Amino acid sequence: MQEVEVAETLKTLSARIDELSNALIEKKENISSGISDALTEKKTRAIKTIQGKPFTYLGGAFVGGLALGFLMSRRGKSKTR
């Protein structure tokens, strides 16, 4: 008699676990698609902004690269001394 009750309880728990895991999978897919949509929107907005003034952004990236290179070279020299 107890074996039948245990088997029924296991069957019920197994069904509940399957139900919960499916719900988690669906929730994860919804979250990742929302993140993907947000990133796509931001990328599109950035591209449109850069297309308006491409040389301004190119100049800013160049100056930023020079500054970063200078700072990194200074850090390397101070370690060797």
**pTM score:** 0.42
User: Residue 67: its pLDDT value, please?
Assistant: 95
Return the domain boundaries, the chain: 2-80
Alpha-carbon distance 23 to 18, whole Å?
A: 9
User: Residue 79: its pLDDT value, please?
Assistant: 61
CB 57 within 8 A of CB 50: yes
Provide block-wise average pLDDT over 10 residues at a time, the chain (81 residues): 84 89 79 77 90 93 95 76 54
Which helix (H) or strand (E) segment holds residue 69: the answer is: helix 54-80
Residue 57 CB contacts under 8 Å (≥ 6 apart), including other chains = 50
